[in-house]
Structure 1
Amino acid sequence: MSTVDAPSATRAPLFFISYSRAPVGRATGKPAEYVSRFFEDLSVHVSELVGPVTGVDAGFLDTSIAGGERWSPELLQAAGTCQVFVPLVSSALIGSDWCGREWDAFSRRRIIPRHSSASVHETAIVPVTWSPTNGAVLPRVLRDIQRFSPTAMPDPDIAVRYQRDGVYGLLTMQWENEYRAVVWRLAQRIVAIHRSYLVEPWVPADMDELCNRFAEGPG
């Protein structure tokens, strides 16, 4: 397995958003707008919680149109140096070879606890329910990891609505307060992982080194 060392001068994202990109010609509209807003809001909260960190960006979102294009060096670098991997779970993500390879890039990296009280079983992968996947056959890697579920909410119905409809559903139905609460709790979860674990960098030289982890079948 060949690797490329992460250049020290390159800024590493604290979190990496993995999502199913729209096909060519369909990269605009509400789904793209909602992903962009979610990323921006999450980045603001994470930045507020961690403060300025030298050489670190709050997050990374690839806005290029996928569909068989070769991965950019920027994307490879981000997938190989980010500290928390946040896949936006949807039926489209499950069927995405691209997203399955992003998962593989992150999951190959070694996770080191920063202190003795940190669990040795942390994956630093935080799947977020983006839209309902009712009836879909989930890949084994996704079934093996607990999805993000917000806790200590001001109203227990917020968590119920998020789990049922996803972030996309909250935005679509204009449940603004519920959406804001979920994103805030997610930012806190990302920062908690960052403060408890170090994910060692491993930057693949090319996407051909990676496999689609979603193609491994259901658990």
Structure 2
Amino acid sequence: MTVEINDDPRAPVFFLSYARQRQLHRPAAPPQPINQHVKRLYRDVSEHLGQLVGAFPGEDPGFMDITMEAGDLWRPQLLEKASTCQVLICLISTPYLIRSEWCAMEWDLFTRRRVLSRDDGKPANAKAIIPILWAPYTVDVPAEIDEVNRFVPTDLCTPENVDLYQSQGLFGLMAAGDDAYRPIVWSLAMTVFRIHQRYWVEPLQLTGKETFRTAFGPRGA
């Protein structure tokens, strides 16, 4: 069945799903900024995509939860963005896989949506999900994540860049310096751009009565 493609200009091109870091308790020490590396990645990908797909003045082409103002209804807005965004970027790490209820919910919601070809409006055998190695991990990868092709950098990346990313993750690349980090992020933005050009992910109409999985792995586990 062919579906009419109807892009919502308010929908994020990408949604950044990550395990939120909590503030460490350090007696007699001032609070330290948290999730700074994730915020930098979000800003960099947004800047690249602003050039690739365009964005309304003053608006980001993507979404991560730092964009919400104090007092916003966090859960409804987060779910609304996950139900309308076009690409899900997942920062895979040990906390993402085993500790974050929100990451599992975001994945569950997004994968309920149909991916359609922009060429003919028919269902496509494709995933609009980009799993990124954020930090090395030793835990088992749940089947639903393992079946999705991992991000492999290509554009502007040297074999050394790719090897470093695959061994240290994007978080580790930030410690290695901009020469290693920047080409990988450009390649990520290009991957989002290509998916967005080829596919349309049908919005999920939320009723407010849905329940979403809060952990990866077999249902009921």
Cα distance in 1 for partners of 2:207, 2:60 equals 22
Residue 109 in structure 1 maps to residue 113 in structure 2: yes
- Structure 2 residue aligned with 1:4: none
Cα distance in 2 for partners of 1:77, 1:57 equals 16
- Structure 2 residue aligned with 1:186: 188
Per-residue CA distance 1:156-192 (angstroms, 9 max, x = gap): 100010111111001123x211110000011011011
Per-residue CA distance 1:44-65 (angstroms, 9 max, x = gap): 00110012369x841000139x
Q: Which gives a bigger RCO, structure 1 or 2 (Cα 8 Å, sep 6+)?
A: 1
Which residue, 47, 51, 57 being the options, matches 2:50?
Answer: 47
- Structure 2 residue aligned with 1:100: 104
- Unaligned runs of 5+ residues in structure 2 are 1-6, 26-30, 68-72
Per-residue CA distance 1:131-173 (angstroms, 9 max, x = gap): 001x211111111111101114442100010111111001123
TM, length-normalised to structure 2: 0.81
* SS of match in other structure, 2:83: helix
Cα distance in 2 for partners of 1:207, 1:180 equals 42
Question: How do residues 203-218 of structure 1 correspond to structure 2 at under 5 angstroms?
Answer: 203-206=205-208, 209-212=211-214, 214-216=216-218
Per-residue CA distance 1:30-79 (angstroms, 9 max, x = gap): 7611000000000000110012369x841000139xxxxx8522111100
- Structure 1 residue aligned with 2:70: none
Task: Answer yes or no: is the 8 Å Cα contact 1:16–1:59 preserved in 2.
Answer: yes
For 2:91, the aligned partner's letter is L
- Structure 1 residue aligned with 2:63: 60
CA-atom RMSD in angstroms: 2.9
- Structure 1 residue aligned with 2:164: 161
Of the two, which has the highest radius of gyration? 2
TM, length-normalised to structure 1: 0.81
For 2:124, the aligned partner's letter is V
State the aligned residue count: 201
* SS of match in other structure, 2:14: strand
- Unaligned runs of 5+ residues in structure 1 are 1-7, 65-69
Residue 196 in structure 1 maps to residue 198 in structure 2: yes
* SS of match in other structure, 2:12: strand
Residue 124 in structure 1 maps to residue 139 in structure 2: no
Task: Answer yes or no: is the 8 Å Cα contact 1:83–1:199 preserved in 2.
Answer: yes
Cα distance in 1 for partners of 2:210, 2:123 equals 32
Cα distance in 1 for partners of 2:80, 2:153 equals 30
Task: Mark the CA change 1:77 to 1:107 in structure 2 (over 3 Å): closer, same or farther.
Answer: same
